[in-house]
Amino acid sequence: MEIYSSFVKKMAAELGADLCGIAPVDRFRDAPKGYNPRDVLPECRSVIVVAVSSLSSTMSANSTLPYTLVRNQLSDRLDGMALELAERLESQGVGAVPIGANEPCVLDRGSRKLRGVISLKHAAVFAGLGKMGKNTLLINERHGNMLWLGAVLTSAELEADPVATYEVCTGGCRLCINACPVKALDGTSINQRACGNYAFGDEKVLFRHYGGWRIKCNRCRKVCPNCFGLTA
């Protein structure tokens, strides 16, 4: 059975996605070895990326506990969404593999970075859902950087979306770079170890023993002029 992009996007919307974009696998040609979609699903032809918008009010809270709660709940929702979408596609006779919103992940021996099965942020860029900001967050013209992502790899050859052409970090803006308390940003990449140790470090271990943990820093997201959509 031939699967159409409009059919996939309708299913994604029914499952609760605010955005859905599709990228052909060829756009991932420069992905690190082992993290190309075809390294996961050899017959992959398309990558379906789904996104849900976070609660903008969490950026106004003095505590990061609500932000952590929303992040965790939306991640679970995206995992379920990707699974359901993959199940529906497989029922139509095509291969479909869901990709988790945050976990599981692996430690890449070469870069010493934690990586997902594929980079969801890069997949979202390739699927036309936005551009990467200097804070290394996806920025969408309507939803800003307040999006959480999931994906499905599929053997179906779907009509691809064009990549976004708008600019997200214009001029010499350095707000996110200057706001980072551990100087983990340089405008093009992130020092994952420095960021992770600060935002998810010792307190993550401490809070785990008391029934939970919190993300204690989201400054690079919060100070961005495009946090809630493009301002230009």
**Taking 90 as the threshold, does the pLDDT of residue 10 lie above it?**
yes
**E-assigned strand segments in 56-164:** 96-99, 106-107, 114-115, 131-132, 138-139, 147-154
Instruction: Report domain extents, the chain.
Output: 5-154, 175-222
Predicted structure pTM score: 0.93
Determine the pLDDT at residue 203: 53
DSSP string, 18-50: SEEEEEEGGGGTTSPTT-SHHHHSTT--EEEEE
Tell me if 154 sits within 8 A of 94, measured CB to CB. yes
Q: Which residues pair with 99 in a beta bridge?
A: 151
What's the average model confidence in pLDDT over 186-212? 75
The predicted pLDDT at position 104 comes to 83
Q: What is the pLDDT of residue 211?
A: 54
pLDDT surpassing 50 at residue 64: yes
How many other C-beta atoms can be found within 10 angstroms of the C-beta atom of residue 170?
Answer: 12
Mean pLDDT of the chain: 92
pLDDT digits (tens, 9 = 90+) for 72-81: 999 999 999 9
Residue range 31-63, pLDDT digits in tens:
988 899 999 999 999 999 999 999 999 999 999
Instruction: Tell me the pLDDT band of 231, cut-offs 50, 70 and 90.
Output: confident
Residue percentage of the chain with pLDDT more than 70 = 94
